[in-house]
Structure 1
Amino acid sequence: MRQFLNTSAFLIAAILGMSACSSDSGSGNGDDGPAAVAPTNLTVTYEIVGQDSAHPNGDGSGMVNLTATAQNATSYSFTFPGGENQTATDGTTSRQFKLFGTNTYAITVKAFGQGNTSITTSTGVTVNYQPTLVWFEEFDTPGAPDNSKWTLETGNNNGWGNNEAQYYTTDLENAVVENGVLKITAKKEDTNGFQYSSARMKSENKFEFTYGKIEARAKLPSGAGTWPAIWMLGENYASAGWPGCGEIDIMEHVGNQQNTVHGSLHYPGHSGGNANTNHTTVPTASTEFHIYSCEWTSQSIKFFVDGVQFHSVFNTSDIPFNHDFFLILNQAIGGNFGGAIDPNFTQSTLEIDYIRVYQ
């Protein structure tokens, strides 16, 4: 299905007249070169790949084929959102738009003629982009977490940089898959000199990626001092250090702010208590499952709960969010963000139904 936009050149006579009178433009008559001939009747058509009556915005690939035609044109340029420019002598080009969901994009088209003449028009195309599922963890196999996908970290690691109180273990009491759900349980118990045990697992060296939509369905623990997180760390942390490697917190929650869920970025100039962050209210965070997601592209990083956006940050080459990251799932106790621990706390569980990554 094709859609059309036509624009006719105006003031052509004036342009031709000016060109004929200019002796240094290289576009005069006789020995000065060919006369300027401005393009006219610029027409732009586009074809959304996979478009039909059931899919008016395409098949989800985000692909659009564009064709520009004009009389007396020698070449064309297409300018897309963000300022990216493509040239085409035959007036045809293709573009994949990669903002998640259905969006409208403005496209500026210019036709060039002899003697530095040109004509410009613009159009908008509404297209759907639904990325492909490239990695998933459905937690369908009972027992210990799948070691082909996850590494369980152990120890306290000097409070993990946050004065955390727990000791991470590989025990099933702290991390187990049951009834199609991963359960990370923090417990009050003496563990290697610490008063609390819990679990932390990462996909480092097993699944690392740049850009995509990350989606997790989870039910959060409760109790003052609990601090569950679904997050990502830049794979170059060993060389770049933190926060130079970048950190994307898809979901953070602390029991001392029971109805609040946070989405944050940590990077140089914005880390720790100065993170680039926002929060939203989720009254049933610990009693019902919710979908926590992040859409990460070269242009932006957006945070959602149940499909509702609550935070967005422009991504640029100046911040460390354009390289591979890996996933981390954990539940901390206390610490700088977790805060004071309820003296009557015994245990609480972070439950994760699935994690899916689309690109």
Structure 2
Amino acid sequence: MLFIFISILFINCSGDSDSGENQSDTPSNLVINADIVGTSVANPNGDGSGLVNFNVTADNATSYKVLIEGQTINSTTGVFSHTFTQSGTNTYTIHASAYKGNKFISSTVNITVYVVSTVVWSDEFNTNGAPDSSKWSYETGTGNNGWGNNELQYYTNRPENVVVDNGVLKITAKRETYNGSAFTSARIVTKDRYSVKYGKIEMRAKLPAGGGTWPALWMLGNNINSVGWPACGEIDIMEHVGNDLNKIHGTLHYPNHSGGNGVSGSVVVPGVTTSFHLYSIEWDASFIKFYVDNQLYHTFNNNNETPFNNPFFFIFNCAIGGNFGGAVDPNFTSATLEVDYVRVYN
């Protein structure tokens, strides 16, 4: 329906669907008024709330359709409000049509709105013990449970493998025999607890060292149970392999881009295993941008044909070996992925 509506706006902007009938019944004098809340000399684009009050009017109109950010708003009065959520100062094109029966007139207006960047969800990992059960659950077992790339670890929920300690989430991979596996580690997820569509996502982390380690801070589409992978989409905010020290990867997986065919970018960042660094993405309907320490290194052009326009949940884990992790150092005993916080901004 969205495609059809946009097409009508552009093709029939003259305003009459039947030129052979009486033109006096066609709406006229269409005006789109947008009151951006909190505008002032100091804040010409609003107070940062993103709230805009609209009043669309036209002579001889009985109803209105307005297209904002891909959303169609139907109104008999033309009076409604919309809250923009993309942080920063952004310009939006508002498409409006006034109707009387099958006759209409259309117009557009551009507005620039400022939205202050605020944290809408986070985990600061400030409470010692197990990860917050209102935010995280465990995925345990081996790749036989539905994941795995020939990895060697057994994921557990034991404090030896995952714990919050002194303000930091610690996921520790160990060399030890456990339930038939030669290594243990942990994998925690926000599935069924929290998911996000669009925004800025930031994580501060220090990565494990050692050949064979494969830590990841990443996301999967909420609809994975119904459509499967890679149809659900995968956003790898940060991946690192100990056998390629200090090389950070940001990757998108989706149909025709699974496995080693993901759309990926990488950057070398000295000291990722010895100090904390910021790993982040900015994500909207047009792009996904990957950063380390606020430095852009990869941009993916998003569109409505990809799965990256749906809610995604978080996954934090540290794998051992496998197709990407590679050979494990014979001297490896244990290493820890440390996450100071994860924050989601509007």
User: 1:339 and 2:307 equivalent?
Assistant: no
Aligned length: 326
d(CA) in 2 for partners of 1:260, 1:269 = 25
d(CA) in 1 for partners of 2:34, 2:224 = 44
Shift of 1:274: 1.2
Deviates more, 1:295-304 or 1:348-357: 295-304
Q: What is residue 139 of structure 1 aligned with on the other side?
A: 125
User: 1:355 and 2:339 equivalent?
Assistant: no
TM-score by length of structure 1 reads 0.74
Query: Deviations 1:98-133 (Å, cap 9, x if unpaired)?
Result: 3332212234567899xx79685x553221234664
CA RMSD of aligned residues (A): 3.7
Structure of greater Rg: 1
Shift of 1:330: 0.4
User: 1:280 and 2:280 equivalent?
Assistant: no
Q: 3-state SS of the aligned residue for 2:191?
A: coil
Q: 3-state SS of the aligned residue for 1:337?
A: helix
Q: What is residue 21 of structure 1 aligned with on the other side?
A: none
d(CA) in 1 for partners of 2:282, 2:74 = 30
Instruction: Give the residue type in structure 2 aligned to 1:340.
Output: A
Q: 8 Å contact 1:222–1:255 — kept in the other structure?
A: yes
TM-score by length of structure 2 reads 0.76
Q: What is residue 39 of structure 2 aligned with on the other side?
A: 51
Q: 8 Å contact 1:333–1:341 — kept in the other structure?
A: yes
Q: 3-state SS of the aligned residue for 2:243?
A: helix
Q: 3-state SS of the aligned residue for 2:260?
A: helix
d(CA) in 1 for partners of 2:303, 2:321 = 31
Shift of 1:227: 0.8
d(CA) in 1 for partners of 2:79, 2:27 = 20
d(CA) in 1 for partners of 2:273, 2:178 = 26
Out of 174, 178, 181, the position equivalent to 2:168 is: 181
Query: Deviations 1:320-351 (Å, cap 9, x if unpaired)?
Result: 44544332110011111112222332322211
For 1:108-257, list aligned pairs within 5 A.
123-130=109-116, 133-158=119-144, 160-205=147-192, 207-213=193-199, 214-257=201-244
d(CA) in 2 for partners of 1:189, 1:312 = 39
For 1:324-335, list aligned pairs within 5 A.
324-335=311-322
Q: 8 Å contact 1:304–1:311 — kept in the other structure?
A: no
Q: 8 Å contact 2:25–2:60 — kept in the other structure?
A: no
Gaps of 5+ in 2: 1-13
Q: 8 Å contact 1:189–1:195 — kept in the other structure?
A: yes
**CA 204–81 in structure 1, closer or farther in 2 if over 3 Å, else same:** closer
Q: 8 Å contact 2:206–2:273 — kept in the other structure?
A: yes
d(CA) in 2 for partners of 1:109, 1:95 = 14
Q: 3-state SS of the aligned residue for 1:209?
A: coil
Q: 8 Å contact 1:208–1:235 — kept in the other structure?
A: no
Q: Percent identity?
A: 51
Query: Deviations 1:231-271 (Å, cap 9, x if unpaired)?
Result: 12234434433223332222212223323222222222211
Q: What is residue 255 of structure 2 aligned with on the other side?
A: 268
d(CA) in 1 for partners of 2:313, 2:72 = 33
Gaps of 5+ in 1: 1-14, 16-23, 28-33
Q: What is residue 311 of structure 1 aligned with on the other side?
A: 299
